[in-house]
Amino acid sequence: MDQLSADHAENLRKASTVRLRAMAARVDTVDDYELANLDRAALLQVVAESIVAKKDTERGAIGRLESQNIEQSTDMEMQLELKIMEMEQKRLEMEMETRRMELEAKRMEMENEQRNRENEQRDKDRDFEIRRMEFQNEREKRDHEFRMSEAGSVIAEM
């Protein structure tokens, strides 16, 4: 980084890590596995070293290549960011659909519970009504037997 111009070093420091990684990928000194594991400082160092190495060759060719590389890097970076945003949108849509399905399942479960409670209450009401009718029949039977026994005792007394 010390051998670069101040403007060039500043531009590299301002570059995103994704862009630095893309720039470092174009350098054949680092394999893909190492590239994936490099931190930002190491990426800066790799890119700076590649730029210094290129400066040792013909200056005019290097200037054209750098501007082309930066344009390509910018295009690649924008495409990568767009792809990341699309993937994030799909992930959010999937999360929303999952949540909607969970809420629908919860609503259906609550409706089933409500129907079960209503059925249980209806069964209880029916059982109560049956018992009430049985009790009333039993009472009417006893009342009838009592009247019959009184009528029998009145007849017997006569």
Structure confidence by residue, pLDDT tens digits, 112-143 = 999 999 999 999 999 999 999 999 999 999 99
Angle at which helices 40-55 and 59-157 pack, to 10 degrees?
160
Neighbours of 131 (CB within 10 A): 10
CA distance 30 to 42: 11
pLDDT band at 13 (very low <50, low <70, confident <90, very high): confident
Whether residue 110 has pLDDT greater than 80 = yes
pLDDT number for residue 51: 75
